[in-house]
């Protein structure tokens, strides 16, 4: 299977924070942000794998660094940063923007593992990914350490 450039999977989404998405302090629910993260990661992985069905195998730890309020916009950006045989690591960054002041803040960032599913409902191989820019290469080169960390976490008794 022919490898694909990392930038080919790049996906950007903008979401307006609306009252039903927020708590009584007008701050967006963390679960809502997670749903957006999962959605964009799915689209990004589908683009790379060129498959209609991908599933979320795991979401690495998510730290919420700042909040977003009603009327702010969330800008999400995602890329496939590395691949295994059937899995893809997807990096997602979420920024919030106050449209009146123009102030931008990093809300959160996370890595997800998405798995491509074949027509038989089983994991199916994906193309390798080729990083080009310095930033892309950094994500790619640090991916094996994150993959190992996930493996160790999965082995940890609960």
Ligand X SMILES: CC(C)(COP(=O)(O)OP(=O)(O)OC[C@H]1O[C@@H](n2cnc3c(N)ncnc32)[C@H](O)[C@@H]1OP(=O)(O)O)[C@@H](O)C(=O)NCCC(=O)NCCS
8-state DSSP, 120: T
Please report whether residue 154 would count as binding ligand X according to CB under 6 A.
yes
Please report whether residue 129 would count as binding ligand X according to CB under 6 A.
no
Spatial contact of 71 and 17, defined as CB atoms under 8 Å apart: yes
Please report whether residue 110 would count as binding ligand X according to CB under 6 A.
no
Q: Name the residue nearer to ligand X (CB basis): 12 or 128.
A: 128
* Binding track, positions 41-80, relative to ligand X; x by CB under 6 A: --------------xxxx----------------------
Using CB atoms within 10 A of its CB, is residue 21 exposed (0-12), middle (13-18) or buried (19+)?
Answer: buried
Please report whether residue 115 would count as binding ligand X according to CB under 6 A.
yes
SS3 9: helix
Please report whether residue 108 would count as binding ligand X according to CB under 6 A.
no
Out of 11, 67, 81, 87, name the contact with ligand X by CB under 6 A.
87
The two three-digit tokens of residue 18, written as one number: 């609306």
Using CB atoms within 10 A of its CB, is residue 114 exposed (0-12), middle (13-18) or buried (19+)?
Answer: buried
Interface residues with ligand X (CB under 6 A) are 55-58, 84-87, 113, 115, 123, 150, 154
């Amino acid at each position: 299977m022919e490898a694909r450039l990392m930038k080919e999977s790049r996906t950007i989404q903008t979401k307006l924070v609306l009252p039903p998405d927020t708590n009584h302090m007008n701050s967006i629910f963390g679960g809502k942000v997670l749903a957006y993260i999962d959605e964009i990661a799915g689209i990004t992985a589908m683009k790379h794998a060129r498959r209609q069905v991908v599933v979320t195998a795991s979401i690495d730890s998510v730290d919420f660094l700042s909040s977003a309020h009603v009327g702010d916009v969330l800008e999400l950006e995602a890329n496939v940063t590395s691949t295994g045989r059937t899995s893809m690591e997807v990096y997602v960054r979420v920024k919030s923007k106050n449209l009146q002041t123009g102030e931008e803040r990093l809300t959160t960032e996370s890595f997800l593992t998405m798995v491509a599913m074949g027509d038989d409902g089983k994991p199916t191989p994906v193309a390798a990914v080729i990083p080009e820019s310095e930033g892309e290469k950094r994500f790619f080169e640090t991916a094996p350490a994150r993959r190992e960390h996930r493996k160790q976490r999965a082995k940890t008794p609960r």
